[in-house]
Each structure stands twice: as structure tokens, then as C-alpha cells.
């Protein structure tokens, strides 16, 4: 089954995770961007939020029933609200966009439970009073929520 929208989603089975899935390991994502701290920031937020929100226990990779893994495929910080000016544009608002490919994999059965090959989220910030880091943190929060929503969408 495929759903159009922010990305391509596929599901195996239906009705939620199989009954034998009680724990999940969150693996560091491969990072294909130049934002070197992004892997650590995303992994920490995923580890903090995903297990509890999916009703699973956190585990290390060697003992987990499922693993969440993926790749950070894109990062962009750009002006979204500005006024052109001969002396340089006046920038009123910027947005950080983060894109990932992600999957939740059933270790015991050797199959993908949920995946999205192109999931993205954004975080907007005001450059006069906020930093790119604040926009990135908001984008990460929105991305983690999108992963949780996607994993729960088959339930």
C-alpha cells in the first residue's frame, strides 16, 4: 500500500505491530549532510520520544525486537519571508528543512514493519531573535512526530 503526501509510506500487515514486538532499538541515522551534529541530535530525540509513544521499551540492538534506523538525506536552511533590497535583502523569517529515509524493522521476522523513503519536516524561526539551532530543534521535533504518526497510522 502506498500513500502520497510528504513521502512514500509502505506497510507490512496491518493492525499495528505484531504481538512479539515489545522493545525497540533506535540506531544512529546515516548522515548525508554537512550538519555533523544532526545525527546525535536526532538520535537523542528519537530515543527520548519514540519507545514510550509507541508503547515499547527501549533496548539495545542486540536484544531489541525491532529497530528504528534510517538516513538523513537532506538539510536546508533558507529564507522564506524576506524583502529584496539593493543593499541586501531584509530577512524576516527562515526555515530549516530536514529530510530522512526511515524504517522500523522486525528483527525476529526479518521484515520491514513501516517505512518512509522521503519523510521531511520543517522548523521556522525569526533570525532577529532566534538562531538556526532553534529552527533545527523544532524541525527535529516535527520530524520525530511525523515518524511516530507514520508508525501509528496503520493501527
DSSP string computed for 40-72? HHHHHHHHHHHHHHTT-EE--TTT-SEEEEEEE
CATH superfamily of 9-152: Lipoprotein like domain (3.30.160.150)
The ranges assigned to domains in the chain are: 9-152
User: Across-strand partners of 120?
Assistant: 99
Q: How confident is the model at residue 8 (pLDDT cuts 50, 70, 90)?
A: very low
- Spatial distance between the Cα atoms of 155 and 151, rounded to a whole number of angstroms: 8
pLDDT at 108: 92
Share of the chain above pLDDT 70, in %: 88
- Spatial distance between the Cα atoms of 105 and 66, rounded to a whole number of angstroms: 5
pLDDT at 87: 86
Q: In this predicted model, what pLDDT tens digit does every residue of 73-108 receive, in sequence order?
A: 999 999 999 998 888 889 999 999 999 999 999 999
Summary mean pLDDT of the chain: 90
More confident residue, 18 or 136: 136
- Read off the DSSP letter of residue 15: S
Amino acid at each position: 500500500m502506498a500513500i502520497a503526501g510528504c513521502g512514500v509510506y509502505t506497510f507490512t500487515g496491518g493492525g499495528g505491530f505484531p504481538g512479539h514486538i515489545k522493545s525497540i532499538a533506535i540506531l544512529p541515522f546515516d548522515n548525508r549532510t554537512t550538519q555533523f551534529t544532526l545525527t546525535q541530535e536526532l538520535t537523542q530525540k528519537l530515543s527520548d520520544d519514540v519507545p514510550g509513544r509507541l508503547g515499547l521499551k527501549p533496548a539495545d540492538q542486540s536484544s531489541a525486537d525491532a529497530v528504528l534506523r534510517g538516513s538523513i538525506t537532506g538539510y536546508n536552511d533558507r529564507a522564506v519571508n524576506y524583502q529584496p533590497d539593493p543593499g541586501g535583502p531584509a530577512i524576516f523569517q527562515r526555515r530549516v528543512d530536514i529530510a530522512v529515509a526511515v524504517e522500523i524493522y522486525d528483527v525476529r521476522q526479518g521484515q520491514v514493519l513501516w517505512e518512509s523513503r522521503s519523510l521531511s519536516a520543517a522548523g521556522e524561526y525569526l533570525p532577529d531573535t532566534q538562531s538556526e539551532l532553534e529552527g533545527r530543534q523544532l524541525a527535529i521535533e516535527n520530524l520525530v512526530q511525523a515518524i511516530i504518526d507514520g508508525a501509528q497510522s496503520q493501527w
